[in-house]
Amino acid sequence: MGNKLSIIYLICLVASVVFCGCLQDDGSEAVNGLRRELQAIVDSVPGKVGVAVITPGGDTVTINNDGDYQMMSVFKLHEALAVCHALDSRGVSLDTLISFSRSEMDPDTWSPMLAEHIEDELNLSVGDLLRYILQQSDNNASNLLFDRVVSVEDCDRFIREATGIEDFKITCTERQMHRNHALADGNHSSPLACARLIEKVFSDSIVSSQKQAFVQNTLLDCRTGLDRIYAPLKDVPGIALAHKTGSGFRTPEGILMAHNDVGRVSLPDGRSYVLAIMIKDFEGSESEASAVMAKISQAIHNSKCTMQN
């Protein structure tokens, strides 16, 4: 009888190990619950929504994680890191000045820089230009940095080599996209590739420590898209969001081609999570697309995956 009980005990023990292993392979209950909730939100949207979440515990949740989302100004995060690397390789600082004429700039594109600097001849540091592209998505500042500091091709190559991230592509500048909106398809990414990049900005050594800290702090002061990921978090004590947004063109039929936000949320208990929300082919207004992002952000923040133990 004792031998039979021992055999039964061993069988139960093995079964429990196998069962736990299956749960681990399929993801925890909290992760699966979050995935179901996000899928339900996405299924109700008049457009394609891609979501990637990297939880405080390191689990990954993705919905519609294809690589065909136009990045729009999200690519300026890639650009900023490539610019920092180019300066590192030349042994120069972010205080390095770039001189340029107002006549070189495009007066018909989004450019808070030109609104704030009315002089004909401008002298701005690389650091100032990076603040403009990361905090306010300035298109002229982006074009200038591509013209003077790092090429589009070198930017794409550097991010791949420095991070190992592959599911993205950068082929054109804001100037080129402004002239031909169809070229925006050339700057594309999966949500997870964007999420992994901003995660690495805070966890890996991509550029020199001083310049990487500059990028981190600048992202924390991003002033665009505050009705997106940030909307449900703004009144939560102890929350900090470092993020980069991107907003797209409309087709002749009025379809919104891109509406993006990629961010890292720091929690009061010291943990953090990363999320990327990318919307394409959206039949609605920008504010409606932002409301979808806010709803997704709220679901992620309220999930058991991110709640404090």
Catalytic sites, residue numbers: 73
Query: Could you please report the per-residue DSSP string of 79-143?
Result: HHHHHHHHHHHHT--TT-EEEEEGGGS-TTS--HHHHH---SEEEEEHHHHHHHHHHS--HHHHH
Going by C-alpha positions, the residue among 270, 104, 258, 268 that lies closest to residue 194 is: 258
Q: Which amino acid is present at 207?
A: V
Distances in Å between the Cα of 210 and the Cα atoms of 26, 88, 244, 266, 294 are 40, 10, 20, 20, 32
End-to-end CA distance of the chain: 44
Query: What whole-number distance in Å separates Cα of residue 164 and Cα of residue 20?
Result: 32
Which residues, other chains included, contact 46 with Cβ-Cβ below 8 Å and sequence gap of 6+?
282, 283, 284
Measured between alpha carbons, how far is residue 109 from residues 124, 171, 174, 179, 210 in Å?
19, 19, 9, 10, 31
CB 152 within 8 A of CB 176: no
Q: Which of 262, 307, 255 is nearest to 286 (CA)?
A: 255
